[in-house]
Amino acid sequence: MTNFAFAPGFHTSGGRQVDAAAYESYIGRWSRMFVHDLFTAAEVANGDAVLDVATGTGEAAVVARSLLRENGFIVGTDISAAMLGRSVR
């Protein structure tokens, strides 16, 4: 078994600050590998509405925006203000 440790701030106890950079360096890069295929499988198309719960840095919302163009509606939400403050685009 390989030992793996998340960067400091990736997971924290209640009331402690989450490090959005730690999140992006691990989860963000993996999300970019599959999120477009996920939306394709869900048949997300121009004019749809998308709710991105636990959006993190917004990777899925950005991909959804590219699929919806100007006629869709996207809401991204996250419990961590640090994540929302570090949008990918």
7: in domain: no
Burial class (CB in 10 A: 0-12, 13-18, 19+), 53: exposed
pLDDT average, residue stretch 42-68: 88
Q: Give one word for 63, left, alpha or beta, with left for phi > 0 and alpha for psi -120 to 50.
A: alpha
Domain presence at residue 36: yes
Residue 89 lies in a domain: no
Asked if residue 13 is part of any domain, the answer here is no
pLDDT digits (tens, 9 = 90+) for 11-28: 555 566 666 677 677 676
pLDDT tens-place string over residues 25-42: 767 677 778 888 998 999
CA distance 49 to 46: 9
Res 64 pLDDT > 70: yes
Total of domains in the chain: 1
- Residue 29 is part of which domain span? 20-84
**Of 6-15, 31-40, 42-51, 62-71, where does the model show the most confidence?**
42-51
Whole-angstrom distance, CA of residue 53 vs CA of residue 79: 9
- What pTM did the predictor assign? 0.66
